[in-house]
Amino acid sequence: MGLAGLLAWLQGPPRCYLCLGRCGKGMLCPVCRDSLPGPRVACQRCGRPLARPAPACGTCLSRPPPYDSLCCPMEYRFPVDQLIQALKFNADLVAGGLLASLLVEPLVDRNGPLPQAILPIPLHPRRQRSRGFNQSSEIARHLGKALCLPVLEDCLERWRHDPPQSSLTALQRRRNVNGAYRLRTRKGRLPESVALVDDVVTTGSTVDAATRVLKSAGVRRVEVWAVARAMGAPGT
């Protein structure tokens, strides 16, 4: 959406972000809401698709990931992929708010306590400078507001600058992020339970690497919250 369209959209009567048709409340009309690729039926531990709801898939029963749960309500396909790209590459902050609202729904509805704080997956400072902002922080900011949780921006840092994950195979992705994150705060200053926020989970290697850093710093429980899971990629 261009700037003029964005202003008209913000000032006019409530309109659906995707089809521009009138909508009562929320940012999508009921038709577009129903056409979204989610909520998915997935393993609560790793987010792999399942035929029916279950707390863990076969892989997680034998070889669980380091994080304790993964909430990832949408599939990474139209129109969610377009919304994520609009946020990431066009700095479309309205799309950011909409994506966050899709992630808030299952978090509000769930049983059990929420984590104590939200940590966005950081970008390398050089990538953040060139993009102007971090899309995960943008989503995390909305989640923090909606769930009344603090967003801790400066606890983790990406200190190695490597090729973008999207250009790599599953094995390369894992090598690319191993050791790419480190703590920016002293051990023991982190809450006992946190949620790591990312826009998309593909192979899981990014959230895997960040979780290992947090757990080695004494965090007991790490949840992963991402808007979408890219399906069918090798190694997912």
Which one, of 51, 67, 146, lies nearest residue 103 by Cα?
146
Judged by CB under 5 A, which stretch of 56-64, 180-188, 190-198, 218-226 contacts Zn ion? 56-64
Compare residues 158 and 198 and give the one whose CB is closer to Zn ion.
198
Would you count residue 60 as binding Zn ion (CB under 5 A)? yes
Judged by CB under 5 A, which stretch of 4-12, 29-37, 154-162, 208-216 contacts Zn ion? 29-37
Compare residues 60 and 190 and give the one whose CB is closer to Zn ion.
60
Half-sphere CA count of 217, side-chain side, radius 13 A: 23
52 contact partners, CB below 8 Å, separation of at least 6 = 41
Task: Read off the DSSP letter of residue 42.
Answer: B
Output the smallest distance, CB 5 to Zn ion, in A.
15
Output the smallest distance, CB 20 to Zn ion, in A.
7
Judged by CB under 5 A, which stretch of 36-44, 81-89, 175-183, 190-198 contacts Zn ion? 36-44
Output the smallest distance, CB 17 to Zn ion, in A.
7
Residue with tokens 């990014």: 206
Q: Where are the beta strands (DSSP E) in 41-84?
A: 69-71, 74-75
Compare residues 23 and 190 and give the one whose CB is closer to Zn ion.
23
For the chain, count helices (H), then strands (E). Answer: 9, 7
Measured CA to CA, the distance from residue 80 to residue 73 in angstroms comes to 11
Half-sphere CA count of 215, side-chain side, radius 13 A: 13
Size of the site for Zn ion (CB under 5 A): 12
Among 27, 36, 43, 83, binds Zn ion (CB under 5 A): 43
For binding to Zn ion (CB under 5 A), which residues are involved? 16, 18-19, 21, 29, 32, 43, 45-46, 48, 57, 60
